[in-house]
Amino acid sequence: MLTLKTNYYKPDLMIFKKIVKAIAWIILSFVLFVSVYLLAVFVLSMIPTSKEPQTSNDVAIYIFTNGDHTDVIVPVKNVVKDWSTEVKYENTISRDTTAKYVALGWGDKGFYLNTPTWAQLKFSVAFKAAFALSTSAVHTTFCNMPQTGADCKKIMISNDQYARLVTYVDNTFKRDTQGNVINIKTNANYDNYDAFYEAKGSYNLFHTCNTWANNALKACGQKACLWTPYDRGIFYHYR
């Protein structure tokens, strides 16, 4: 009887061992992935791309971080582009037309509209953002001349470089059948001077809001990281 009982339970023991082994491999793979990801973040953020040499200083642009997210700040209007024809003052709560600059940022739509603070971040929003399961948005904020400091850096570029930056940002917007940018109607505004617009692409671990801003700098020939998902990588090269 004892021999029969031992043989009866042996398949269950083998299944249990396989389950434990599978769980161990999953945990090990996750730890390995996180380790490689963090190493890549550190190393690739430290490697700079070169600024284009010998260009004129026609346009002042700025990069700004709130501590987590990087915006690119540009003139509302100059000889190259009038942003107010698309990113309209009337789409903000204030409708104030006196601002001379506009901050432009790209990110996960769920983060922008459903997460006013990090304390209110939901697991579902974070999970979808991390694995490119949600849509994206462009966030715009009208402002006066930015004050430079540790969190805001001024960069002088040529009109040609600015035109390339404009093209890069323009190509981020999702447009309707008439070619117009699509304003997102929401009560989730951060203040009286901002608005949201539908955007192309999906946020994920490898393409974040800061990756977008870093690529914007590359588009106009400025110093940038080889790759970075976080703001400190960008600002490291503008110390």
Per domain, the residue ranges of the chain are 48-236
Mean of all residue pLDDT scores within the chain: 90
pLDDT tens-digit series, residues 190-230: 999 999 999 999 999 999 999 999 999 999 999 999 999 99
pLDDT of residue 132: 59
- Percent of the chain scored above 90 by pLDDT? 74
Q: Does the pLDDT of residue 144 top 90, yes or no?
A: yes
pLDDT (average), residues 175-193: 96
| Of 101 and 123, the one with more pLDDT | 101
pLDDT interval class at 28 (50, 70, 90): confident
For tokens 């793979």, the residue is 29
For tokens 């004129």, the residue is 56
pLDDT (average), residues 112-138: 71
pLDDT of residue 214: 98
pLDDT (average), residues 141-155: 97
pLDDT interval class at 115 (50, 70, 90): confident
